[in-house]
Chain A
């Protein structure tokens, strides 16, 4: 069984060589196309001007032409290859807007642990972790020539899947890394899709300045060629690899049911259509963009899609677990279940009220409102500072978007009521406050300078002003404000 990395190396290099040959072949064909087109042009021009062509003129290129064309194709392919594979991983990560993990964050820590566990299962491979800040559910894997491997997940995935499901998903991604197809996928992604994306941006830029014209036509041609190439590469990256990685995952974790559950959750939730890099479908566990081709079978679907139909994937896993689709009916995000339990059990509530000693203030920050020491608490699994007296929160600006992408903690009905009232008043007044920052009445708990009061762009239409300190990167939320912001962002999503 090819599970250790040494055995896979040969397979891997064979795949990479094949990929390079595809690239050379592509440039050869396009160069040939240019030559033929040029010759046809000469031919027609000669005919229309009734000039006599020199003898031996053929539209088909001669052997020396083919040799020269292929030499050019090889050189261009090498240059393209070289530039695409520089900083392979970094480039894609930047494009996906992925971030390294925050070691203080509970969920991030859990994700890191799970990835390390799976790394142990495939023989002690070191795998790095990254996270995309979005409440979509998806995961991806990247690898490069030096053996560096990365598994990343979205915030939604880290929070909404339980440990076993997360392990199954990470196992699937580790399967791609272990079986070596991850490197081929990463390279092909870098070679073509990023390329196509850059051209798209270029085209939009030039469209803005002057309409029509030769450069744009040229760019359009190049763009369509790269798109065709992506299709060719999708052919090269067969959908079989997904089945294989699913199988590896269930072999590593010995838990096919959890993988089926995870696939079910991912497929029934938002997979991330619209996030940065959602067209790089081949690196994700499931294509962020839903398309009908991917969910169907047959010759064309097999040829052009990167992932097999999710139903079939789940079916294979459920078969392995000796169960059927009914096992998935009650699958809910685990954290939601926990949240429900917290609300339901009164015993728990009483325990909390009587037994929990008030944590002492750390003395690190003091509340900008009542000047009492703030205590560090976990909010949606992230350390924030809370004032025990006015119930306000001080949140690190980097961590704030992550709070918005998590929906673990249940929001109280009062918040919903308050939010409704706010929305109504906003609709009635319908004034548009300018989006300018005004000086706040509070002083920053960290640097004691005056804070700035302004709107948070993500929820702008609703007028909720927040106090922030641009220098220290912290935001102060009055009582209920944090929950309100969360509520609005969940409603709008």
Chain B
């Protein structure tokens, strides 16, 4: 009889543990989704800003068409990209082209002093920062989620209910990852 009661209690305990673990995993996954939607909002915002930027810059740097066309092309790619990997790649490309556009703008004092341009530049700076902060938050959450999936004994629950590992939103920014070249 006593043995039976102990067995029952143990089973109840195990079930309770399962429930708590499962719920915490769901919780982590929801938070990850929320973090991703944060990035998405900011990326959309950036896409919306670019046509304005190109329109403003057009009048001043008409003969730098290549740069402007690159930005437009990169934006189109970014808008139509699907899936995390593709999206990350397209956004990185967009960042690079935008950076080269701003480098060009530096050479045109008229454009640089344009009120509209100044406002747009501030707007883009803040959006870029928000994207990187949102990405930082997303990656932190992803790390937490992935760690939970892989650590013992949570990994059993995760396997049983089909929780899968999520990818990080990585940057492949050429200027950041390259080792500095040293010249003698």
Contact = CB atoms under 8 A, between A and B. Distances in A.
The answer to whether A and B belong to the same complex is yes
Interface of A: 1, 3-4, 106, 109-110, 113-114, 116-118, 120-124, 163, 167, 252, 254, 348, 351-352, 355-357, 378
Most chain A CB atoms below 10 A, which of B42, B122, B133, B140:
B133
B87 interface: no
Given A355-B109, A355-B110, A123 B130 contact: no
6 contacts: A109-B122, A122-B137, A123-B31, A123-B35, A124-B34, A352-B113
Contact of A113 (B38, B115, B126): B126
A486 B34 CA distance: 48
The residue in A110, A113, A114, A252 that gathers the most chain B C-beta atoms within 10 A of its C-beta is: A113
Interface of B: 31, 34-35, 38, 42, 109-110, 113, 115, 118-119, 122-123, 125-126, 129-130, 133-134, 136-137, 140
A252 B118 CA distance: 27
Nearest to B109: A351
A123 B34 contact: yes
A117 B34 contact: no
Label chain B's interface by main secondary structure. helix
B123 to A, nearest CB: 8
Contacts, number: 58
Contacts of A352: 109, 113
Given A3-B140, A252-B133, A351-B109, A123 B122 contact: no
A317 to B, nearest CB: 19
Given A351-B109, A356-B110, A120 B137 contact: yes
A277 B123 CA distance: 33
B126 A114 contact: yes
A3 B138 CA distance: 12
List 6 A-B pairs, minimum CB-CB distance, nearest first.
A113-B126, A121-B133, A120-B133, A117-B129, A120-B130, A351-B109
A356 B108 CA distance: 11
User: Quick one: which of B35, B125, B126 has the most chain A CB within 10 A?
Assistant: B126
Contacts of B125: 113, 163
Contacts of B31: 4, 123
Q: Which of B109, B110, B122: most chain A Cβ within 10 A?
A: B109
Nearest to A118: B133
A116 B34 contact: no
Nearest to A4: B31
Contacts of B42: 120
B176 to A, nearest CB: 13
A120 B134 contact: yes
A385 to B, nearest CB: 14
Contacts of B130: 116-117, 120
B31 to A, nearest CB: 6
Nearest to A117: B129
A122 B125 CA distance: 19
A356 B125 CA distance: 25
Contacts of B140: 1, 3
A167 B122 CA distance: 14
A106 B34 CA distance: 31
A256 to B, nearest CB: 15
A47 B119 CA distance: 82
Nearest to B118: A106
Given A109-B122, A113-B122, A114-B126, A120 B109 contact: no
B116 to A, nearest CB: 12
B133 A117 contact: yes
A489 to B, nearest CB: 27
A128 B107 CA distance: 37
A395 B53 CA distance: 30
Q: Of B110, B115, B118, B129, which is in contact with the most chain A CB atoms at under 10 Å from its CB?
A: B129
A117 B110 CA distance: 29
Given A116-B130, A356-B110, A121 B122 contact: no
A171 to B, nearest CB: 10
A225 B176 CA distance: 59
B110 A116 contact: no
A110 B38 contact: no
Given A110-B122, A116-B130, A121-B136, 17 more contacts: A113-B122, A113-B123, A117-B126, A118-B133, A120-B42, A120-B130, A120-B134, A121-B133, A121-B134, A123-B35, A123-B38, A124-B35, A163-B125, A167-B129, A254-B136, A348-B109, A356-B110
Contacts of B134: 120-121, 124
